[in-house]
Amino acid sequence: MEIDPFIFRLSIFILSIFIGYYVVWSVTPSLHTPLMSVTNAISSVIIVGAIIAALSGNDGVVFSSSSIYGFLAIILAAVNIFGGFLVTQRMLAMYKKKKKDK
Amino acid sequence: MSANLSAILYLVSGVLFILALRGLSSPETSRQGNLFGIIGMIIAVTVTFLSVGNFTSGFIYVLIFLTIGGSIGAFIAYRIPMTAMPELVAGFHSLVGLAAVFVAISAFINPDAFNLGTPGNIKLASLIEMAIGAAVGAITFSGSIIAFLKLQGIMSGAPITFKGQHALNALILVSIIVLTIYLCLSQSANLFWILIAVSFLIGFLIIIPIGGADMPVVISMLNSYSGWAAAGIGFTLENIALIITGALVGSSGAILSYIMCKGMNRSFFNVILGGFGATEQSAGEKNKEQRPVKSGNADDAAFLMKNASSVIIVPGYGMAVAQAQHALREMVDTLKKNDIKVSYAIHPVAGRMPGHMNVLLAEANVPYDEVFELEEINNDFANADVAFVIGANDVTNPVAKTDPQSPIYGMPVLDVEKCKSVLFVKRSLSPGYAGIDNDLFYKENTLMLFADAKKMTEDIIKNL
């Protein structure tokens, strides 16, 4: 009997939860705010679904009842991707080490 | 592009996202980590364009919408003040949630585009995944909106409770499950819309009873939800990048909620069921007795610190409200010029979100290697000459260690009272968020500095 592809995806999902668990515990507490903003940015990879949805319209019809939701989702996800990565970068740029001599 | 190749590339972007989080284990590697995240995102988006392979007029519109959203995001990212990070993150969570809902709706209306079957005849597994993605997305959206309004101060931070609240919430949660089952049986579009509407409602109801000061837990929790919503959609789209990311974000948010709850010595359920701020206030009223307090001025504070050999700064959210962080850093610079050792002690729940205080100090050019977490620095208080508490209150209250009757008993606190002398900058003797008196105010070695945090710090600089 063949294994349902769903089981493979479920395996990836479960293993990723464990990876997430160990990786996030190793994040230094002083970087927890950047952690939240960067997880925000990467969870916007949902834009992948939004793009598929937006391009699902038939030839000639760009805005159909289903693609319009895709376009809306693209805007929302794009705000998050750019906003999330840039604000993270801005924060991380502020973390500086002690200067030895002044 | 073949389905296998794109699946492998999605896997690559998933791995890059893992490395992005891994980079945050230290500030040196964090910037590189962020770069990995950006590359992962570019790969994922490019692969999607190539695998859809539709470069007609629709593609142009996608680029236009992408640019519009991107510009808004970039604009916000550059303009947002660091004190407003909690609001920003809550706002961003709501967008992820709503995007998940939109993608699910689109997949429901036009399942052909996603290879999920035909309208009215969607594969059962896909329908369940879709329903979960949409429901969790909707909860994330409305919950984050409420969190945003509370943080922004548009909505009162006070917990909103009413009779039968928990029963109502339980009923709605059950109805979501029932709706999902009926949706799978009937494939009815109406049920799908009702499911989304009910999920919006429950997101709203879950967050309103939670008090403003519990927002660190709420934001972390919604962070986690946004991840699970993304994972749900990832299963629907059979997309590996989305599944990996959803799992990472989901567990990240869950860990942060746990850390925040532990920082307040409260169980997760206790926070979620809400109403903390409302019930404890009365306890504070009762034991309001007049006890002698030593108060001083900037001159006294400057004298104490000038003659110290080591000073520990304990900043709290009040410092950020007063915008005193830059003045504080100037004061510390002056102290360091006089060869006084200065370090900062951060409580896990200082600020309005995990790690918030660290960002605020970093913004004021405080080097991160002078900033310590509670466990790292707590033993140093006994050897320090002066503790300078600015804008913090409950997290220094020794009652948490001594009085089992106290609502904050068992909460980890900074051992400020062990210092030779304590300087406590505060506007009045009023109790903090927990509504209880701070014993530290009345200690022999405590000198209260009644003033606005920023003004007092500036005055101290003048006197140093």
DSSP B295: B
CA nearest to B18, candidates B246, B300, B298, B332? B246
Check pLDDT > 70 for residue B278. Answer: no
> In this complex, how many residue pairs, one in chain A and one in chain B, have their CB atoms less than 8 Å apart?
376
Report d(CA B464, CA B459) in Å as an integer.
Answer: 9
Contact partners, residue B277, CB within 8 Å, separation at least 6: B157, B158, B159, B211, B212, B213, B214, B433, B435
B459 in catalytic set: no
ipTM for the complex?
0.93
Of A25, A48, A87, Cβ closest to residue B77: A87
Interface of A with B in 33-92 (CB under 8 A): 33-57, 59, 62-67, 69-92
Q: Are B196 and B183 in contact (CB under 8 A)?
A: no
DSSP A99: P
Contact A80 B369 (CB under 8 A): no
Contact A38 B33 (CB under 8 A): yes
Contact B358 A32 (CB under 8 A): yes
- pLDDT recorded at residue B286: 45
Phi, psi of B342 (to 5 degrees): -125, 135
Q: Tokens for B34, please give them.
A: 């962020």
Contact A66 B26 (CB under 8 A): no
Check pLDDT > 60 for residue B288. Answer: no
Q: What mean pLDDT is predicted for residues B37-63?
A: 90
CA nearest to A87, candidates B147, B80, B93, B33? B80
Q: Tokens for B150, please give them.
A: 């509370």
Report d(CA B267, CA B265) in Å as an integer.
Answer: 7
**Per-residue pLDDT tens listing for chain A (102 residues):** 788 888 999 999 999 999 999 999 999 999 999 999 999 999 999 999 999 999 876 666 778 888 899 999 999 999 999 999 999 999 999 988 776 543
Looking at B264-390, list the stretches that DSSP marks H as alpha helix, in order from N- to C-terminal side.
Answer: 268-273, 276-286, 298-306, 317-321, 325-337, 356-363, 374-377
Buried b / exposed e along B236-254 (16+ C-beta atoms within 10 A)? bbbbbbbbbbbbbbbbbbb
Encode pLDDT of B191-249 as tens digits: 999 999 999 999 999 888 887 778 888 899 999 999 999 999 999 998 999 999 999 99
Q: Select which of B300, B369, B380, B394 is catalytic.
A: B394
Report d(CA A77, CA A83) in Å as an integer.
Answer: 10
Per the listing, tokens 């105010």 go with B441
Q: Tokens for B44, please give them.
A: 């994922």
Q: Tokens for B328, please give them.
A: 């504080």
Q: Mind telling me how many Å the CA of A100 is from chain B's nearest CA?
A: 11
Contact B92 A91 (CB under 8 A): no
Nearest CA in chain A to B106: A66
This prediction has a pTM of 0.90
Q: Mind telling me how many Å the CA of B278 is from chain A's nearest CA?
A: 28
Encode pLDDT of B84-135 as tens digits: 999 999 999 999 999 999 999 999 998 888 888 888 888 888 899 999 999 9
Per the listing, tokens 């079957």 go with B117
CA nearest to B94, candidates A66, A75, A80? A80
Q: How far is CA B106 from the centre of its chain?
A: 30
Q: Are B416 and B386 in contact (CB under 8 A)?
A: no
Interface of B with A in 101-140 (CB under 8 A): 102-103, 105-107, 109-110, 112-114, 125
Q: What mean pLDDT is predicted for residues B388-417?
A: 85
**Better pLDDT: B158 or B97:** B97
Contact B62 A51 (CB under 8 A): yes
| β-bridge partners, B446 | B422
